[in-house]
Every structure is written in structure tokens, then in C-alpha cells.
Amino acid sequence: MSPPITGRNGVVTSAHPLASAAGLSILKAGGNAIDAAVATSLVLGVVAPAFSGVGGGGFMLIQLRDEEALYIDYRETAPRRARPGMFTADSEGNVKGFANSMGYASVGVPGTVAGLSYALENYGRMKFPQVAAHAISFAKRGFRVSPFVGTIMSNNVDNAMQKFKSFPETRKQWLKDDRPFRSGDKKTVADFARVLEHVSKEGRDGFYNGWPARAIADDMAANGGLIDEEDLAGYSVQVRRPVKGTYRGLEVRAMPPPSFGGIAIVELLNILEDLDITGLGLNTAETISVMAKALGAVWPDLKRKIGDPDFIDVDTPLLTSKDYAAKVWFGRGERGATADRTGRNWTTHLSVVDKERNVAAITESIECYFGSGVIAPGTGFFLNDTMHDFDIGRKGPNSIAPGKRPVSNMTPTLLLKDSEPYLVTGSAAGPRIVTATLQSILNVVDHSLDIQAAVDAPRFHYQGSGPLKMESRIGPKVRARVREMGFESENPNYVQLRPGFDVYFGGVNAVLVGKKGELRGGADTRRQGGVAAY
């Protein structure tokens, strides 16, 4: 395992080394953690566009020194013309023609520019032109396609090639001689640079009321999409208070609804706090089994109770109470009550701590790899397919409604020790966000791993139905023992950029504040993340 990269003045860890380096340069220039996080996010949208970008949305955790944590919710919303039942399922429950995960009907109103602008204006020190400079430079001058992005395209993950070939602008931008860009190829995105330059000059309104909005709306109108200029002009962020909990004397702050992830993390920690996780051992069959039972109890229960809090009532104090966790744990009944249909969400996560111990962490997404596949002419960025995250039924807490935010698993998470930042963590990868974030916490708190080892440690995933999936580094004896304990086990062997490190199991990028105040960064080897520190 690689040692953690450390510093005392600031650490940025993200899904791409170029993005982390850009964030660190902002810290060195006098910006705070929020400025650095925005710069990192914008660069990720250029150099790793399969996962995030200004055509999507996300959640941002902010904790300024000596202030309470808060979350900026800039999740995508359903267009005004969206309706329950707008997607039709086949006999297996999948949407016909991939209509909710590819093409114009799958696109939700993007929130990233609004969210990042709000964060800068209210909590940062720098202006948009300063933090966008690195992203603009990479978009204009070019960057090398990473092995991860190249592998996704060459393996046609999430129908990447079909997306590229289905839409004329996307074909023009992302195919060379009718083949995708390969790892190491140089790529420029001049149109995207123009968008970022326009937002740098005109601010948030330059995106939502300017020519980018018109370009999106015109393309939607010409191709049966639902989003119009009024949808874009009317988009607004929400500032939300964190879900709170405690775990072995540490304070926990996690993302509230419309995220499922934050309440799930707190409830799972409430259950596991009464168990001897340390004594059971790291990735033993006994530890995996008991954690899977907890996941199998929590997942189906919460999926029936969480939705956009602006549309349904979510009893967060009840669901995050230790009494409720005990009730769910001891009355869990049979596993496998529900399945999660948001499993294709891939996302990206980044964490930043600065020298004043301000904290910023972002989890963002355009949903499936390369989102909807749609690039509006002249804009250069992929639009999301976040309508995929709604349930397709007409009733339920996560059904489609105009202006509604779909449920997400994303949860940038902060642990405090003696009211000071201790661990900043989070992950990519849809429902694996919950299990990967949970395991990163337990690896530090219960198993005493340093941060890079905690991020690199083998993972498993279970959500109450289907096989319990384990990374191949969890050996055959453990897998056999887990099967004896009543779980069907499976090694997905999805995509491995390094033997034994499977991208299926998330992309955790985390910062640990050491005993002497040293900042220690860990970036996920599975997705070729990078840490920058000084």
C-alpha cells in the first residue's frame, strides 16, 4: 500500500491528480478550503467528464472554523413538464429504450454552476475567474485522457459508445475516426472553456439566463427534451443542516435528505457501535457478516421513508436515533426486502482541509458514465441523466414530480473529535457510496488504519438483496465462510485498473487530521485518485 501524503497547511484529495493539484494551488494562493474545492470540481468536469461536470449536480459539505457544518444541495431537479409515469417499464422492471438513462428525456435541470457559485459567494475568499482558471486552461490547451476514462470508453461501460454515436454533437466531440479517445490521447474542450469564461465574466446568471441556457433549451426543444429556459432560470440551491450522530465518542455530520446516504451512515453506525468491530477483525467473515446484516436491515427500511424533504415529510430525528437503530436491528426480519434501482450512478468525490482547518467536501455526479450522452451544440459538456434516479412508479417517496430532487446515495461525511475536524470522507459509486464511506470510517476508527490504508483496504457491498459482493483481495476462505453464514457471495470482477482493486467498490477520497495536527490524505487507488498537500 502507498503511504499517505501529508501536509500541515492543506490537503486536497480527489479522483484525478490534475484536479487535486489545481485545488492545492488555490490554497497556496490564499484561498480557503471552499475555493480549493470549487477549483477541484471544475477541473474534474474537464479532465474526468465521465463522472461529473457543470451539466450535473451534487452536494457540498462546508464547515468553517468554529462554525456549524452545513450542506449546499445543488442536486438536479425534474423539469416542470416531468410527470409520474413518464417512463414505461418492461416485464423485468427496466425502462424501455433506456429512456431514463440515455437521451433527452433523462436530463434533469443541472445545479452544479449554481451550487459552486453559491459556495464561493457565501463561504469562499476568491471569485469565480480565479478558481476556474485551471479548468479553462485544461479545456483550451488540452489534457491526456486518463487510463480510467479510456478504459470506460474502450469497454463501452454504461453504453458509452452508443451514447457517443447517438448524438451528433457528442460524436463530433468524443470520437476520432469513429473510435473513442484512448488512454494517453490529448483532448481539448474549447466549447466548455467558452462556457466557463462566460460564467467567469457574467456569474451564475451567465449560465442559467445566458447563451448556455439557450443552447440547452434549443437542443431540448429540437429533440423532445423537457427542459426549457424557464426551468434553467428558475433553478435554486438549498442550504440544509446536517444529519447528526455519534460513534465511539466522535461526532458525525452527514448529508440529509434528499440523500439516503447520510441517514443510512448514521443509522448503521448506531447499530455497529454496540458491536465489537475491532475484536471481530478487519474483513473477517464475522465482520463482513454482521455488517451485511446491518446493511440488510437498514437499506430496505430507509428506502421506504426517504425522499425530497420539500415534497415529503422525513422524520430525520427518529431515523437517526439510537433507539430506532436498535429497533431496526433487533426486529430486522428477513433480508432482501427491496432492491435498489439507482445502482448505475458513478459520481466523484473530493475532500479538502486547509491550514485553518476549514473543511469542504463535495460529491457530484452526472449519473451514469457520461450522463445522458447529450452535449448541447456549442457547450462542450455532458448533460446528466438524473431522471434515472427517480422511481418509475406513480406513487412513493421518490416518484417523479416537477421541481423534485431524486433520492441520492451521495454523502460527504465529517467526523469531529473534541469538536475539531478529524476525518473527512465520502465516495463515488451509487449505492456503494454508503458501504464504501462506512468502511472507510470503520477502518480508521475501529481498525486503526492510517488513511491511505483505510481507503485501499478491500471492500464488500450488500444492500439487502441479491449476492454479497466482495473484492477479489478478500480471499476464498473468507468468501466460503460468508456463504456458510447464509449469504450468497460474488466477486463482480468489474474493471480493475490495478489487480485486485475493482472500480465497482467506489472511489473514496479522504483526509485524516493526525494526532499532532498533521493532515494526511488518502486517494482511491481503484479510480486513480490523487492527493496534493503542503
| Domain carrying residue 504 | 243-344+410-527
In a domain, 499, yes or no: yes
Copy the grid coordinates of residue 503.
472500480
Q: CA–CA separation, 58 vs 52, rounded Å?
A: 9
How confident is the model at residue 155, as a pLDDT?
Answer: 82
What are the tens digits of pLDDT across the range 357-408? 999 999 999 999 999 999 999 999 999 999 999 999 889 999 999 999 999 9
Instruction: Please state the domain count of the chain.
Output: 2
Do residues 174 and 56 share a domain?
yes
Backbone φ and ψ for 360, nearest 5 degrees, come out as -140, 135
In a domain, 425, yes or no: yes
Copy the grid coordinates of residue 217.
433549451
In a domain, 491, yes or no: yes
The 3-state DSSP class for residue 77 equals strand
Q: What integer is the mean pLDDT of 259-270?
A: 98
How confident is the model at residue 1, as a pLDDT?
Answer: 62
In a domain, 402, yes or no: no
Do residues 217 and 254 share a domain?
no
Does residue 505 register a pLDDT over 60? yes
How confident is the model at residue 335, as a pLDDT?
Answer: 42
What are the tens digits of pLDDT across the range 460-471? 999 888 899 999
**Local confidence band at 188 (pLDDT 50, 70, 90 cut-offs):** very high
Tally helices (H) and strands (E) across the chain: 19, 23
Q: What integer is the mean pLDDT of 315-331?
A: 95
DSSP element (H, E) containing 134: helix 128-141
Do residues 334 and 247 share a domain?
yes
Do residues 38 and 156 share a domain?
yes
* Residue found under cell 433527452: 104
* Residue found under cell 492527493: 531
Give all strands (DSSP E) within 406-472, no chain letters.
413-417, 420-425, 460-461, 468-470
**Local confidence band at 345 (pLDDT 50, 70, 90 cut-offs):** low
In a domain, 310, yes or no: yes
Q: CA–CA separation, 381 vs 375, rounded Å?
A: 6
How confident is the model at residue 334, as a pLDDT?
Answer: 39
- The size of the chain, in residues, is 534
Copy the grid coordinates of residue 330.
433487533
Backbone φ and ψ for 435, nearest 5 degrees, come out as -70, -40
What are the tens digits of pLDDT across the range 58-109? 999 999 998 999 999 999 999 999 999 899 988 877 898 899 999 999 999 9
| Residue 175 CB contacts under 8 Å (≥ 6 apart), including other chains | 164, 165
DSSP element (H, E) containing 479: helix 476-484
Do residues 147 and 260 share a domain?
no
Comparing 100-114, 302-316, 431-445, 482-496, the range with the smallest average pLDDT is 482-496
Do residues 253 and 374 share a domain?
no
Comparing 415-424, 445-454, 494-503, the range with the smallest average pLDDT is 494-503
In a domain, 7, yes or no: no
Does residue 144 register a pLDDT over 50? yes
376-379: Cβ within 8 A, 24+ apart = 376/169, 376/212, 376/215, 376/216, 376/218, 376/219, 376/220, 377/169, 377/215, 377/219, 378/191, 378/194, 378/211, 378/215, 379/55, 379/191, 379/192, 379/195, 379/212, 379/215, 379/216
How confident is the model at residue 292, as a pLDDT?
Answer: 96
pTM score of the predicted model: 0.96
**Local confidence band at 265 (pLDDT 50, 70, 90 cut-offs):** very high
Does residue 171 register a pLDDT over 90? yes
Q: What integer is the mean pLDDT of 283-289?
A: 97
Count the Cβ atoms, other than its own, within 10 Å of residue 92.
5
Instruction: Give the pairing of strands 175-176 and 489-490.
Output: unpaired
pLDDT: which is higher, 340 or 48: 48
Q: Are 463 and 295 in contact (CB under 8 A)?
A: yes
Q: Tell me what the pLDDT averaged over the chain comes to.
A: 94
Do residues 439 and 512 share a domain?
yes
Do residues 223 and 261 share a domain?
no
Does the N-terminal peptide bond of residue 258 adopt cis geometry, omega within 30 degrees of 0? yes
In a domain, 403, yes or no: no
Output the CA angle 94-97-101, nearest 5 degrees: 75
Candidates 347, 379, 435, 525; catalytic one? 347
Does residue 343 register a pLDDT over 50? no
- State which of 323, 358, 389 marks the end of a domain: 389
Task: Assess whether 379 carries a catalytic annotation.
Answer: no
How confident is the model at residue 3, as a pLDDT?
Answer: 78
Does residue 332 register a pLDDT over 70? no
Do residues 380 and 286 share a domain?
no
Q: What integer is the mean pLDDT of 309-314?
A: 97
In a domain, 177, yes or no: yes
Of 451, 365, 263, 341, which Cα lies nearest the Cα of 92? 341
pLDDT: which is higher, 43 or 495: 43
Do residues 281 and 161 share a domain?
no
Q: Are 256 and 320 in contact (CB under 8 A)?
A: no
How confident is the model at residue 338, as a pLDDT?
Answer: 43
What are the tens digits of pLDDT across the range 147-169? 999 998 888 777 888 899 999 99
How confident is the model at residue 340, as a pLDDT?
Answer: 43
Backbone region of residue 378 per phi and psi (left: phi > 0; alpha: psi in -120 to 50; beta: other values) = left
Do residues 436 and 490 share a domain?
yes
| Residue 176 CB contacts under 8 Å (≥ 6 apart), including other chains | 185
Of 321, 306, 317, 314, which Cα lies nearest the Cα of 408? 306
Q: What is the domain-level CATH number for residue 424?
A: 3.60.20.40
Does residue 517 register a pLDDT over 90? no
Do residues 457 and 502 share a domain?
yes
**Local confidence band at 294 (pLDDT 50, 70, 90 cut-offs):** very high
How confident is the model at residue 521, as a pLDDT?
Answer: 98
pLDDT: which is higher, 303 or 79: 79
**Local confidence band at 341 (pLDDT 50, 70, 90 cut-offs):** very low
Does residue 268 register a pLDDT over 80? yes
What are the tens digits of pLDDT across the range 394-418? 899 999 999 999 999 999 999 999 9
